[in-house]
A = this chain, B = another copy of it.
Amino acid sequence: MAKETTTEKKVATATNAPHATRTTRADALRNEDALLEAAKVVFANVGVDAPVREIAAQAGVGVGTLYRRFPTRSDLVVGVFKREVDACAAEAPILANAHPPGEALSRWLKRYCQFIVTKKGLASALHSGDPAFDALPAYFRSNFEPALTDLLAAAAKAGEARHDVDAYDLLRAIGNLASTGGKDGPDGMEHTYRMLDLMIDGLRFGTSR
């Protein structure tokens, strides 16, 4: 009933058999990681419709292994998406520690742009009607919104950003901005970054109000 966290230790009740559970095997963990990494690469190169076999091959495992971890193609897509969301969101506090607030905000927004651009392929899959993807928008928001909220608050406190911008609005705005100006455009990403700088300047400018 309660969801197990990654390592489920043996049940220590007195009466039970010698060993009720084991830890997840090391190779299993390694393979799960390899699969997600491989899927990320293959999805980027071939698209989200890439054959499962190809992903398994790239990860250096058999399809059986892939399917034990990700019972369905969709599960793999979801896995990659979440992992990327996690990775991107996790950079927010790191950047916040390593740079002054305004700089951290600016850097993270650029990083977010990259996320959006590389996930454009996945984005269309999201609207494909497969119920496996239903939870992703919420996951997206629940990870990114707090991350950006913190960055914004810190920057605002330091007088490096205005106070009246909502994190979610900003996520959407930049999301739209980045998803229309693809990375394959005439000046690839340059246009997107220029527009992003514009928005960031806008954030700073508002400070004086």
- On A, residues with C-beta under 8 Å from B are 47, 124, 127-129
Contact = CB atoms under 8 A, between A and B. Distances in A.
Nearest to A128: B124
Contacts of A127: 124
**Copies of this chain, tallied across the complex:** 2
Nearest to A125: B128
Contacts of A129: 47, 124
Contacts of A47: 129
Q: Nearest 4 pairs between A and B by C-beta?
A: A124-B127, A124-B128, A124-B129, A47-B129
4 contacts: A47-B129, A124-B127, A124-B128, A124-B129
Contacts of A128: 124
Contacts of A124: 127-129
Nearest to A127: B124
A127 B127 CA distance: 10
Nearest to A47: B129
